[in-house]
Structure 1
Amino acid sequence: MSSTPAQPAQTPRYKPGIKYILMLGALAALPAITTDMYLPSLPAVAEDLRASQAAVQFTLSGMLLGGGVGQLVIGPLSDRFGRRKPLIVGILLHVVISVLCSIAGDIGTLIALRVLQGFFNAAASVVAIAVIRDRFVGSDAARLLSRLMLVIGVAPLFAPTVGQAIAGLWEWRAVFYALALIGLVLVAIVWRWMPETLPEERRRPGHVRHIAGGYWHLFRNVRFMSLAVIPGLGLGVIMSYVVGSPFVFQDEYGLSQTQFALVFALNGVALVASAQLNAALVRKVSSARLLRAAAVVQLVFALVLVAVAASGFGGVLGLMVALWLVLGTQGMIPANASVLALNTYGHMAGTAAAVIGALQSGVAGVVSPLVGVLGGNSVSMAVVMLGACTLTVVVLLLGTPVFRRGGWMRLDTYEQVEAVRPPK
């Protein structure tokens, strides 16, 4: 057996342009932007609609729920009808629902609309990943996904600030007008610059039996499901930090809002930097090897984080450094796991990407609330993050051959497909 991964003979090597990366990154980041721009408006929504805090928070979790279901529906549709049609229809409906959210008169209506908004703008993220698999394989796909992390990672850092500025100048309803405008811009960009990447001959039948059969095939594949759940565990790590860090740094350690914003930005830089490091490393090191190393190193850093949080060693600076290391390693895990999961499913990339996306929403939605359940302090945040990191290593160990001798070579094989050159 050769010591290097098999390369598809028909796939030409080329480098995607910055416009292409920004376009796919913006699409993949749309659900996160839709969530994060709205975050600062939660107190105003509660006051204006006379709703409880729990009800208002469900406008966030409801959108995640809608997004998870939406990916499972829209993914197979993109395998049947091509990428452009479901994408454009999904974003246009996101625009319409954003406008309806801006005129919602009660919290129940807003919750229902947010669930629908999550359902339809899931088209942007699931199609973006499917398009990558249509055109790229192996290290090329891993590099592109890592580059997307730059856009996906930076956008949510600025989205709350932009949302707060819009709500401050006008009111919370204006945030949804801004989200509608973003959707219209994305539709124009897709219409002008993104050609269809799934030719007619590679499309799958779209009736229920074939869709269910595709999902059943994926769910029965232990290796695929093991790799597909890892990005969800990774998002669980990130969301545990996101939901816990405001209380940890401001209430427990006494940081001001400005200081916390700086800490949040620095940790965002860690995610982006490690993703770019991964993009450089996959040129020389296989995705499977990088995933294995990053998962183990992150587990060690998570153990250090728990020790620092429990002992108070180094104070707030010690906690910041430990968090930076854990989150920094995270940037090297989702892209490699996603590429390895999709390697042999180019013929049903939309369906496979939908499973990965739905697991991300579902697993993160289950993991992150545990921080509050366990106490909402630094120790509970660190323990939940450690738990997700531990599960990542266990899943890799039991569900994939990555820790076995030569196992990385079996993960780095993929079907031979003809790639479509992206626009310049």
Structure 2
Amino acid sequence: MSSSPRFLGLALVLGLLSAIGPFAIDMYLPALPLIGRDLGADMQTVQLSLTVFFVAIGLGQLVYGPVSDMLGRKPALYFGLGLFALASVGCALATDIHVLVALRFIQGLGAAAGMAVPRAVVRDLHTGVDAARLMSLLMLVFSVSPILAPLAGSAVIAWTGWRTVFWAVAVAALAGMALMASSLQETRGPEARVQSSLGAAWRAYAHLLRDRHYLGLVAIGGFGMAGFFTYLANSSFVMIEHYGLTPTQYSLAFALNAAAFIGAAQLNGLLGRRFGLVPLVRFSALASALLVAAMWLFFAAGGDSLAVLIVLFFCASAFMGQVVPTTAVLALEAHGAIAGTASALMGTLQMLGGAAAMALIGLVASSRPLPMVTGMAICALLSLATALGTLGWRGRAVAAA
């Protein structure tokens, strides 16, 4: 079943739908310094256009999750992608940094559908190791974005300027709607929607917020993602302005980390069957934290090497590729009846956590690597601490294992 063409096709469709929003992040990363110069904005204000996007994705998922439980997965996706496309056109036409920031918020509200709903579709269809394998395949397609998008963005920016990036993602959203219409079946049938309502959604949120195991799993992946978001918001300034890379060279360096995440995530099904999902998360969170802590010690001691930054974060990203999708599967495992709501709350908490990390590091950010690496190390250590607190030390296990 897990290797059938239908299984692989579903992963492709869900991954592409999930990647549309992140594509709007990764494709314009090489342009952040250029946008600041073009619109007369400082580094912190330009970074705000990235932060509000994450905040909007987080808040929007609180709505899309229950709505997809009540009305079905596809209507929620259609609305979100349509809103995303309209806001993208507005971003392409913006002439003021504050207008761009506002439109990025609206764009993020649309992108939230692609983040919340595909995870719920996975839970509609599968549980356990099969769900972990499908989630990892989804992440494979999804993670093509941070490999290809910065490269595509740097090429587009070099030839036509940063505004074309937003025209491109608007077209991508329309293509996603067409793909969904032709290739994705509704997985939340009318019989499953009977018990879904706004009141039921709020009760479900209250139930989830009292579930310490669910919240712990969300936090493990959330802190891991927050470290990556810190890198996302600051790496273009560090690598382009401090280390002197061109936008294309930066895109290639950024793509290396995404490739590590992707490659490792594809081993989750095999490793999950061999060692169990819980031990996999516990070991990978430890390995990632140790690598990022070593990177911080190097820069805190006065070191300054682009190679150290790239190599150590490449290895840490590989281990985080085993943590994030696996904790998502474990968090949704016991909540199949409210999978859309549970997926939405997970996405909201993780995105808002990532936005908070970016905002806090933004207060002290510079083009030097130490502030960025400090934020990444704090997030990695918090992910490890939460993993040990939620899943236990070696010798202890949980029912979800």
Q: Same fold (TM over 0.5)?
A: yes
Query: Is 1:203 matched up with 2:193?
Result: yes
- CA-CA distance at 1:381 after TM superposition: 2.9
Paired residue secondary structure (1:411): coil
Kept after mapping to 1: 8 A contact 2:15/2:138 = yes
Q: Which consecutive residues of structure 1, in runs of 5 or more, have no partner in the other structure?
A: 1-11, 413-424
- CA-CA distance at 1:334 after TM superposition: 0.6
Kept after mapping to 2: 8 A contact 1:204/1:348 = no
The number of aligned residues is 399
Paired residue secondary structure (1:338): helix
d(CA) in 2 for partners of 1:67, 1:148:
19
d(CA) in 2 for partners of 1:51, 1:255:
21
Question: CA deviation digits over 1:137-194, x for unaligned, max 9?
Answer: 1111111111222222221222123233334433433322221211111111101110
Query: Structure 1's 99 and 220: CA in aligned 2 closer, same or farther, altered over 3 A?
Result: same
Mapping for residues 156-195 of structure 1, pairs under 5 Å: 156-195=146-185
| Residue aligning to 1:114 | 104
Counterpart of 1:220 in structure 2: which amino acid? R
Query: Is 1:355 matched up with 2:345?
Result: yes
Kept after mapping to 1: 8 A contact 2:278/2:391 = no
Query: Is 1:84 matched up with 2:74?
Result: yes
Paired residue secondary structure (2:334): coil
- Structure-2-length-normalised TM-score: 0.90
Query: Is 1:267 matched up with 2:277?
Result: no
- Structure-1-length-normalised TM-score: 0.85
Query: Structure 1's 48 and 386: CA in aligned 2 closer, same or farther, altered over 3 A?
Result: closer
1:97 to 87, 96, 112: 87
d(CA) in 2 for partners of 1:18, 1:90:
24
1:391 to 377, 382, 399: 382
| Residue aligning to 2:369 | 378
Q: Which consecutive residues of structure 2, in runs of 5 or more, have no partner in the other structure?
A: none
Question: CA deviation digits over 1:187-216, x for unaligned, max 9?
Answer: 111011100101222225454322211111
Kept after mapping to 1: 8 A contact 2:31/2:162 = yes
Query: Is 1:411 matched up with 2:396?
Result: no
Provide the alpha-carbon RMSD of the alignment.
2.6
Kept after mapping to 1: 8 A contact 2:44/2:362 = no
More helix by share: 2
- CA-CA distance at 1:393 after TM superposition: 2.2
| Residue aligning to 1:344 | 334
- CA-CA distance at 1:382 after TM superposition: 3.0
- CA-CA distance at 1:348 after TM superposition: 0.6
d(CA) in 1 for partners of 2:249, 2:131:
37
Paired residue secondary structure (2:267): helix
Kept after mapping to 2: 8 A contact 1:147/1:279 = no
Kept after mapping to 1: 8 A contact 2:80/2:114 = yes
Query: Is 1:368 matched up with 2:358?
Result: yes
Kept after mapping to 2: 8 A contact 1:79/1:204 = no
Query: Is 1:147 matched up with 2:137?
Result: yes
| Residue aligning to 2:8 | 18
1:324 to 314, 330, 333: 314
| Residue aligning to 2:211 | 221
- CA-CA distance at 1:313 after TM superposition: 6.6
Which structure has the bigger radius of gyration?
1
Q: Tell me whether 243-252 or 278-287 shows the greater mean CA deviation.
A: 243-252
d(CA) in 1 for partners of 2:184, 2:87:
24
d(CA) in 2 for partners of 1:378, 1:40:
17
Kept after mapping to 2: 8 A contact 1:30/1:125 = no
Counterpart of 1:394 in structure 2: which amino acid? A
1:277 to 247, 251, 267: 267
